[in-house]
Amino acid sequence: MSSIASRTFARSALRSSIRGSRKAPVSSARLAPQQSFLRPHIQQYTPKQQSVRAFSASMQSKSAMAAPAPAAEFDKEIVDMAKYAHSFKVESDLAIDTARFVFLDTLGCGLEALRFPQCTKLLGPVVPGTVVPNGTRVPGTPYVLDPILGAFNIGAAIRWLDFNDCWLAAEWGHPSDNLGAILSVADWANRTNKNGGKVANGKIFTVKDVLEAMVKAHEIQGCMALENSFNKVGLDHVVLVKVASTGVVAQMLGLSEGQTRDAISQAWVDGQSMRTYRHSPNTMSRKSWAAGDACQRAVDIVMKVQKGEGGMATVLTAPTWGFYDVNFHGKRFDFQRPYGTYVMENVLFKVSYPAEFHSQTAVEAAQRLNKKLAAMGKTAEDIEDVTNRTHEACIRIIDKQFKAMDNYADRDHCVQYMVATMFAFNRLEASDYPDDSEAAQSPLVESLRKRIKCVEDPQFTKDYHDPEKRTISNALTVRLKDGTTLEEEVVEAPLGHRLRREEAKPHILAKFQRHLEPHFAKDQVKKIVDLGNDPATLYKMPVDEYVDLYVKEKILWICLVETQMKAAHGFSAPSTSLLRFLRCQLEAQNSRCSVIAICLFKTPLQRQRRSFTTPARIYLTPRSQIDCSTNHDRCAPATRGLSTTCALREGFWRSLRNSPQKTGQNRLRQGDLPALPGFVDDAGLGGRVIKPGNELRLRCTEFDEHGNVTLVNGEFRKSELIQKYSLLPRDLRKIDSSVLPHILVRPSAILINLLHLRCLIKHNRVLVFDVYGSTDSYAQSSFMYDLEGKLRQKQSSAAAITDGKLPYEFRALEAVLISATAGLESEYEGVREPVVRVLRELEEDIDRDKLRHLLIYSKRLGTFEQKARLVRQAIDDILEADDDLAAMYLTEKAQGKEREEDNHEEVELLLESYLRVADEVVQVSSSLVSSIRNTEEIVRAILDANRNSLMLLDLKFTIGTLGITVGMFIAALYGMNLENFIEETNFGFFGVTAFSTALSILACYYGLRKLRKIQRLSMWGEGASSGKRNQVGQGRGGRGSWRDLDSPPGMGGEGDGRGRPLGEAVGAIKQADRMKAWNQMYQTLGKMQRDPSALPPVLKR
């Protein structure tokens, strides 16, 4: 380097250093890397060239290598995080005890999220069926994943419902999101080390270790959030989840403090999530899995650093390219307090409502005001407007008074929507956020939402940021339409706040137990809850053994139907008692499977079946579409796995009218032949098997008058049922029958046996009998869910009749009819598709395998048609009995009212509606059976025509052979070499040959002419017997498609090589007969003109 260049470089470096010192006082950590490089030159710099010569000499030296620059020092913020993660000992009993409650609450929130398919569709391995050796187990699922993907799965489930803990400061967030990374790594490390691995130096992590890691992750994320607002620069708070998880996981896996600094620097340089997916107009579900993505990235970064990847010392402070200059508007982080246990000790629990935490106190205030309104005899419809005095963070995040509620994410982050829902329905649940929920579709909620105004209170904002208070205050003032203004309701701290921690603990445990119950048996739930309440045992338990309490070797995914919960239903998720029933149903099939994932479809992805009398809807999937393709290695062979995803399907009747023409696709092969079911089979009898004749007990599930499941799999003796419900023995025999459907009306009950359903309906109770050996659990579960929804409709029997709504017994009856008719439609679609496919392929070609398929499918379709006819007959029989229809009004009977025999319009209309559906199913199935019969007849006719063609060909060959034989006879005589006059001439040979040939031709012509005379109709590929085969240019012997037999005359063009079809041939014969009659008539008239004496006597006069 030249001396001028060296001097210029040194001066510019000095000016940059002086300019930086004048600009602002910068910490030593920030200047350390620059000083380490410039110090020897800055100290020696003078106007003389001494320092330049020294610098230049070192650069120009050809014999010596330049000395490497000293390593830069890491940013102080990163150093402090790494030091805290490695050196701090958690000794606070309060922090550890609080972490225990956070740990239990967070796992429960993750299990609750498994009820939502929008969450479960994102879970599992990238390649379906992948099982990682010694991998991370995801609670509530069968998945065994690598720790990176496991962190995403656990983290996404935890955050999905926005129901886990919360931390509110300059930046808000949910520190328990870090459990996704911590639990994933700890579980994987334990399983690997117990099998000979050396992860984390062979350490076996206990639950106590996980709780300590949670304290540290909470502290890093919370202390960073105290004074630093990432949302103000457009970044999402999950950046803190990534950083905190990276530091803690690095320490857990045994990385050195220096490697931990490298990992944390990599987390800061990693692309940070923008907050746009939490705000209009881009609000979407990514906000629910963003924390899982942050956990995944954190573990991935640590794994890379563990393999030797380095870090960036000044990733935060580097001029121009550092985090501060690029993402934080040049501002440095501020810290209110050193790292310790402050955040865990003061963390906020979401106990009461699954709502964004800034709205918790507002919703609680609305619930209190609801009680005042009820005491005044007022409802939400009487509210004119509401004023919400709140804090600045609430207004900035969830104030969406006039913004349209486009999706789930909009609603669970709108304080007006949540308060309006509480006012309208006196509840706020996770099921109130989907698009098809009752609250989302309520005009009252939408109208009231736009009349709730948020106003900032500076004192509330100050208390929100006060380290000693950190309250989340909201105050509601309600003004009624009559001008009355209710006293303002102020709630400063929600249940779950530090100030109300002891009050919240029982509710936290109750919430945890509530989230466990849908997934596990009572004994298992009690075991987990008791363990959570025993800190001494819990802390010593290895993490992998604790996680095993939440998973099993197999899991049954039930794609439950979700009804459209309108005003009549009052809920949009199955009750706990119903979920227990479903669990019992599955455990009866496979005792080893005790984990049930309930997936509630919120969008109509399947064919939908709409009720005729209520706004309820259920979604069903044909059995032919249900498989275990995504979890085939984990589905029990004795059970039916149900997929969690279903393709979009057209309506039932539309699919019949517009069936796609798919020729050449999905052709049948010989190996595709299904097993031929017997008379008692799953397709024919809805999945039932013959029941032993000596069965004297019946098991049933009981619903009370409010639609609650009060008894699951209760066992009754038949004599008890007969006595209790005034039945006859033959009634139970018909109900217990596995073949014939029945609807029986008794003085105090309605007994129903339709397909897979056995029910006894009272005026205030429904008994659903278990079908012995049933494998049709999907249809049974769907029916139970819809039945619960209908029975929960709130209305008195008198009001029901007056308003045109259905009383209790008719709602139960309708649920049965919906399930039965929907089952018929579903089964028909499953049978129809293969039949139509075989019929189409038979049009192209006829072979033995296709005919065999057609025979088997014809038998299955015939069995289905008979079953549909029996269902239709059962409904039709009850409609013909006026006395039975009048006797079905059980509620009125219980009230002492009597009806005339002809006064039964409501139930008659109900039954007529579903009779029409059953009749349509019978009609379309009969039509399909007729198509099969017609096809069989056509195939038989084609085969007969082919056989006749072969016979005709054989006759022609025989005639030709006869002609040749005649000619050869003459030749044989000539060849006997006897002396005769023919030998004396030179033309004898030629004469005999010509004579033999002519004689052969004459014999063939005579035989063929006789054959043509005895032909009544043309054979395949031949013209009519009139001999005009070629009058339209048709070739002889041309073979066409058998479908042309039905084509009208004139459809074939010239030269198409086809004989005239059967109908055309018959028409030609009739035309010839008419022409013959006309000719005879003309001949007679001509004769009479020539000879008047031939006229009849009448004409002569």
Q: 300 or 932, which is more confident?
A: 300
Residue 433 has pLDDT above 50, yes or no: yes
- Nearest-CA neighbor of 754 among 814, 799, 672, 699? 814
- Tell me the sheet residues that pair with 711: 702
Looking at residue 580, what is its pLDDT? Answer: 52
Q: Is 470 helix (H, G, I), strand (E, B) or coil?
A: coil
CA geometry: angle at 71 spanning 70 and 72, to 5°? 115
**pLDDT of residue 221 exceeding 80:** yes
**How confident is residue 1079, by pLDDT bands cut at 50, 70 and 90?**
confident
CB proximity list for 77: less than 8 A, separation 6 or greater: 316, 333
Asked if 740 and 654 count as a contact pair (C-beta separation under 8 A), the reply is no
Round to whole Å and give the CA distance between 1089 and 615. Answer: 87
> Exposure of 91 by Cβ count < 10 A (0-12 exposed, 13-18 middle, 19+ buried)?
exposed
**Percent with pLDDT over 90 in the chain:** 30
The pLDDT-based confidence of 696 (bands split at 50, 70, 90) is low
Q: Closest Cα partner for 142 from 577, 519, 530? A: 519
List the CATH code of the domain at 682-930. Answer: 1.20.58.340
Helices (H), 541-615: 543-548, 576-589
Q: Is there a common fold for 76-346 and 357-505?
A: no
The first and second tokens of residue 62, run together, are 């050809």
Encode burial over 703-723: b for 16+ CB neighbours within 10 A, e otherwise. Answer: beeebebebbeeebebeebee
> Given the structure tokens 């006859």, which residue do they identify?
728
229: which 2 tokens? Answer: 């607002």
pLDDT at 614: 41
Mean pLDDT of the region 799-828: 78
Q: Look at 275-284, 355-364, 593-602 and tell me which has the smallest mean pLDDT.
A: 593-602
Range in 448-452, 550-554, 679-683 with the lowest mean pLDDT: 679-683
> What confidence tens digit (pLDDT) does each residue in 253-294 have?
999 999 999 999 999 999 889 999 888 788 888 989 999 999
pLDDT the model gives residue 1100: 54
Confidence (pLDDT) at 271: 83
Q: Do 721 and 863 touch, CB atoms closer than 8 A?
A: no
Q: What is the mean pLDDT of residues 533-545?
A: 95
How does pLDDT run across 154-177, given as a tens digit for each residue?
999 999 988 888 887 888 899 999
Instruction: List the end-to-end C-alpha distance of the chain, in Å, as a whole number.
Output: 148
Inter-CA distances, 681 with 446, 586, 676, 781, 863, Å: 51, 20, 10, 20, 10
What confidence category does residue 737 fall into, taking pLDDT thresholds of 50, 70 and 90? low
> What is the C-alpha separation between 552 and 533, in angstroms, rounded?
23
Amino acid 1067: pLDDT: 63
Write out the H or E segment, with its range, that includes residue 750.
Answer: strand 749-754
Q: What is the pLDDT of residue 248?
A: 97
> pLDDT grade, residue 194 (50/70/90)?
very high
- Mark out the alpha helices in 466-575 (DSSP H runs): 501-516, 522-532, 535-540, 543-548
120-129, 246-255, 269-278, 1006-1015: least confident range: 1006-1015
DSSP 613-672: SSS-EEEE--GGG---GGGTTTS-TTS----S-------HHHHHHT-----SSS---GGG
Per-residue H/E/C for 895-935 = CCCCCCCCCCHHHHHHHHHHHHHHHHHHHHHHHHHHHHHHH
Domain range 357-505, CATH architecture: 2-Layer Sandwich (3.30)
Pairing of strands 697-703, 709-717: antiparallel
Matching residue, tokens 């398919």: 117
The answer on pLDDT for 848 being more than 50 is: yes
Residue boundaries of the structural domains of the chain:
3-60, 76-346, 357-505, 507-644, 682-930, 942-977+985-1068
| Residue predicted with more confidence, 757 or 698 | 757
pTM over 0.75: no
Q: What is the mean pLDDT of the chain?
A: 75
pLDDT value, residue 41: 35
Lowest mean pLDDT among 135-139, 875-879, 1062-1066: 1062-1066
Tell me the pLDDT tens digit for each residue of 20-30.
443 333 333 33
Token pair for 770: 């278990």
- Based on DSSP, count helices (H) and strands (E) in the chain, helices before strands: 39, 16
pLDDT attached to residue 135: 95
pLDDT range class, residue 1070, cuts 50, 70, 90 = low
CB 383 within 8 A of CB 478: yes
The listed range with the strongest mean pLDDT (431-440, 482-491, 598-607, 685-694) is 482-491
Burial class for 452, CB neighbours closer than 10 Å (0-12, 13-18, 19+): buried
For 546, the token pair is 């604790």
Q: Rounded to the nearest 5°, which phi and psi values hold at 359?
A: -100, -5
- Could you give the CA distance from residue 392 to residue 455 in angstroms, rounded to a whole number? 9
Whether the predicted pLDDT of 624 surpasses 50? no
Contact 148, 192 (CB under 8 A): no
Q: Please write the tens of the pLDDT for every residue from 889-946.
A: 888 888 888 888 788 888 888 888 888 888 888 888 888 888 888 887 887 888 788 8
Tell me what the mean pLDDT of segment 1058-1070 comes to. 56
Please name the CATH architecture into which domain 76-346 falls: Orthogonal Bundle (1.10)
Tokens 């117990």 belong to 194
Q: Could you give the CA distance from residue 923 to residue 135 in angstroms, rounded to a whole number? A: 55
pLDDT of residue 300: 97
Region 393-414: mean pLDDT is 86
Cβ–Cβ under 8 Å, residues 106 and 241: no
Mean pLDDT of 45-74: 43
Please give the pLDDT value at position 437.
86
